[in-house]
């Protein structure tokens, strides 16, 4: 069984899908309720980096890419840009990328260049941190679209891992998580689970049990993260397939 198939097996939804963020945004439609506005802002804060990476790969410099990404989100959050979005369009990431492409294709940023910085920024992006992260990304000859997909997938996994680490509250639980987290996705490396077990003073069987429990919670966390970015629960499994496809696996 492939790793992606293992993640597809974790289908037990532990939350009310109707309350997920993107579905709240789409259900509000042109009404743009305070609840949907807050949900959209939270999503934008979480998933801005894939768009920054896309813009950089389109040939824009660090400062201009940060400026464009900031302006894009400020415009998106401050206007009724969602009025024409149909729930049938589904994915939050697809909506974001299509909207950004439209902005760049129409050179909207050039027409508004003199206005940048004049309006209220609904949230701030750290340009230095963004570019530092971008420079640390491994060299990749993929298209900007492929880069966007990979950064989206990395963001999903990173957020699920961060949530799981927060669940491991307490110094010993946190130490155990940090020791075995590389095994949650079956990463290949020089370390072994036996080595991690020895450092944790656990038997190999106990370490395997720990990884099994954490991997189950990790799968649930990934499904939960993805559920926040699709319009319908039946789209979750395809998004998981897309996530692993973004890594070439």
Instruction: Cite the DSSP H helix spans in 141-203.
Output: 144-167, 171-180, 193-199
Residue 170 has pLDDT above 70, yes or no: yes
Q: Which residue has the higher pLDDT, 8 or 243?
A: 243
Highest mean pLDDT among 44-48, 128-132, 178-182: 178-182
Rounded Cα–Cα distance for residues 20 and 18 (Å): 6
pLDDT tens by residue, 5-21: 666 655 554 555 656 78
For the residues of 186-244, what is the DSSP string, one character each? T---S--HHHHHHHTT--HHHHHHHHHHHHHHHHHHHHHHHHTT-SSGGGHHHHHHHHH
Least confident of 85-89, 119-123, 163-167, 239-243: 119-123
Quick one: pLDDT at residue 148?
A: 93
Task: State the pLDDT at residue 205.
Answer: 96
pLDDT at 83: 65
Under the banding of pLDDT at 50, 70 and 90, the label for residue 122 is low
Find the range with the poorest average confidence among 38-47, 202-211, 238-247: 38-47
Buried b (16+ CB within 10 A) or exposed e, 205-235: eebbebbeebbebbbbbbbbbbbbbbbeeeb
Q: What is the pLDDT of residue 141?
A: 75
Convert the pLDDT of each residue in 175-209 to its tens digit.
999 999 999 977 666 689 999 999 999 999 999 99
**pLDDT-based confidence at 44, cuts 50/70/90?**
confident
**64 vs 59: CA distance, rounded Å:** 10
High-pLDDT (> 70) share of the chain, % = 77
The whole-number pLDDT of residue 118 equals: 47
% of the chain surpassing 90 pLDDT = 36
For residue 20, the SS3 value is coil
- Tokens 């410099």 identify what position? 61
Instruction: Give mean pLDDT, residues 124-146.
Output: 81
Q: Contact 150/142 with Cβ under 8 angstroms?
A: yes
Given a contact cutoff of 8 angstroms between Cβ atoms, the answer to whether 44 and 25 are in contact is no
- Residue 94 scores a pLDDT above 80: yes
**Would you state the structure tokens that stand for residue 249, as one six-digit string?**
């696996």
CB-CB contact of 17 with 236 (8 Å): no
User: Which residue, 31, 30, 42, 94, is CA-closest to 73?
Assistant: 42
What local confidence, expressed as pLDDT, does residue 6 receive?
62
Q: How confident is the model at residue 27 (pLDDT cuts 50, 70, 90)?
A: confident
Is pLDDT above 90 for 24? no
What whole-number distance in Å separates Cα of residue 165 and Cα of residue 199?
19
Q: Which pLDDT band, with edges at 50, 70 and 90, does 222 fall under?
A: very high
């Amino acid at each position: 069984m492939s790793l992606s198939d293992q993640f597809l097996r974790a289908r037990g939804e532990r939350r009310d899908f109707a309350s997920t963020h993107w579905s709240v945004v789409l259900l509000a439609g042109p009404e743009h309720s305070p609840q949907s506005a807050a949900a959209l802002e939270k999503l934008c804060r979480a998933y801005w980096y894939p768009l920054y990476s896309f813009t950089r790969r389109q040939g824009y410099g660090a400062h201009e890419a940060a400026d464009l990404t900031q302006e894009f989100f400020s415009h998106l959050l401050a206007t009724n840009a969602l009025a024409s979005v149909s729930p049938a369009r589904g994915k939050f990431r697809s909506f974001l990328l299509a909207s950004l492409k439209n902005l760049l294709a129409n050179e909207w940023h050039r027409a508004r260049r003199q206005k940048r910085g004049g309006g209220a920024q609904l949230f701030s992006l750290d340009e230095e941190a963004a570019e530092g992260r971008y420079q640390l990304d491994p060299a990749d000859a993929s298209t900007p679209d492929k880069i966007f997909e990979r950064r989206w997938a990395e963001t999903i996994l990173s957020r699920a891992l961060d949530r799981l680490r927060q669940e491991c509250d307490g110094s010993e639980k946190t130490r155990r998580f940090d020791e075995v987290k590389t095994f949650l996705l079956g990463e290949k490396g020089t370390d072994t689970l036996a080595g991690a077990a020895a450092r944790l003073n656990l038997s190999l069987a106990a370490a395997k049990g720990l990884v099994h429990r954490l991997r189950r919670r990790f799968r649930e966390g990934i499904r939960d993260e993805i559920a926040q970015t699709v319009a319908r629960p039946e789209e979750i499994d395809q998004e998981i397939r897309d996530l692993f496809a973004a890594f070439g696996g």
